[in-house]
């Protein structure tokens, strides 16, 4: 028996770790997103575990843009060609400086007078 026009889609896995670029520590619960290269629409996404590791399963072979972000760190983007069953994509994120405008706190207290006899 022959099948014509049938194709078997190979499912791929993208995995890696998101780390602080200075000390190499994994960044827990960082966001990792896989986007299309054509219009940056979301394909899949996940969060890292407590050690900064992540796994994204059931990916089709193709070209993707993978982003990693974490609060207080600069987002990092990588173009990734997924052709094999397992693809590694690690990220080193740098802390970004945040400038806050200064604030002024003022208070007023009523004058208290005491007479001593």
CATH of the domain at 36: 2.60.40.10
Q: Does residue 58 come out as left (phi exceeding 0), alpha (psi in the -120 to 50 range) or beta?
A: left
Q: Whole domain around residue 45: which residue ranges?
A: 11-93
Q: How many domains does the chain have?
A: 1
Residue 4 scores a pLDDT above 90: no
Any domain includes 110: no
Percentage of the residues of the chain whose pLDDT score is greater than 90: 71
Q: What is the pLDDT of residue 101?
A: 75
**Do 94 and 19 form a contact (C-beta atoms < 8 A)?**
no
pLDDT band at 8 (very low <50, low <70, confident <90, very high): low
pLDDT at 53: 98
Cα–Cα dist 94/61, whole Å = 30
Query: Between residues 40 and 108, which one has the greater pLDDT?
Result: 40
pTM of the model: 0.75
Answer yes or no: is 108 within a domain: no
Question: What's the pLDDT score for residue 40?
Answer: 92
Domain membership of residue 43 (yes or no) is yes
Is residue 23, in this structure, part of any structural domain at all? yes
- Kind of pairing between the strands at 11-20 and 91-93: parallel
Residue 2 domain flag: no
């Amino acid at each position: 028996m022959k099948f014509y026009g049938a194709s078997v889609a190979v499912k791929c896995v993208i995995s890696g770790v998101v780390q602080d670029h200075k000390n190499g520590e994994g960044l827990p619960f960082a966001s990792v997103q896989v986007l299309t290269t054509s219009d940056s629409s979301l394909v899949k996404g996940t969060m890292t575990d407590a050690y900064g590791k992540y796994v994204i399963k059931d990916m089709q072979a193709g070209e993707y843009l993978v982003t990693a972000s974490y609060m207080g760190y600069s987002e990092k983007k990588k173009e990734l060609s997924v052709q094999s069953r397992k693809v590694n994509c690690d990220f080193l994120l740098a802390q970004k400086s945040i400038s806050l405008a200064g604030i002024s706190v003022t208070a007023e207290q009523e004058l208290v007078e005491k007479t001593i006899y």
